[in-house]
Structure 1
Amino acid sequence: SEKYPGEQDYTKYISEHGGSSNAFTSSETTNFYFDVNADNFEEALDRFAQFFIKPLMSQDAVLREIKAVDSG
């Protein structure tokens, strides 16, 4: 995202604060979920929300995601 531009910033923040995250895509929806220590929830939620508010989508990252979805 524009606010957190490092490609691994979200994952790193979540794991450094006792949490985990994952997602899956079905035929009609994609479901994202995460957990994190309660004290870090607000910042984790902001980081997650920024994916939808101001995403950065490099061509390389988009191609990796397409391949991941297609392989499932």
Structure 2
Amino acid sequence: MSRRFWEDLAERVATTWACSFVGLLIAGGRHWHTMPHITSAAVSALAAAAMTAKGLISRKVGDPNSAGLMPAAPKGSTGGGQ
């Protein structure tokens, strides 16, 4: 596994955790304080764990240097579409 893969996976896991945590706080609306922040952090950690598993599995499916499921771009491709 390359350094690029680990950096990609770390970014995906961190953003998944952060988005989940903020989403739980926002979903609470005016009553955001009723769910303890530690519970929000724990639920977000479950989402991050699922993202870690997905990233490790996707290495076998897609580009081995990416935590994404998409296959590697063909050589010479800029990835810009048509």
User: What TM-score does the superposition give when structure 1 sets the normalisation length?
Assistant: 0.32
Q: Going by fraction, where is strand more abundant, 1 or 2?
A: 1
> Whose radius of gyration is greater, 1 or 2?
2
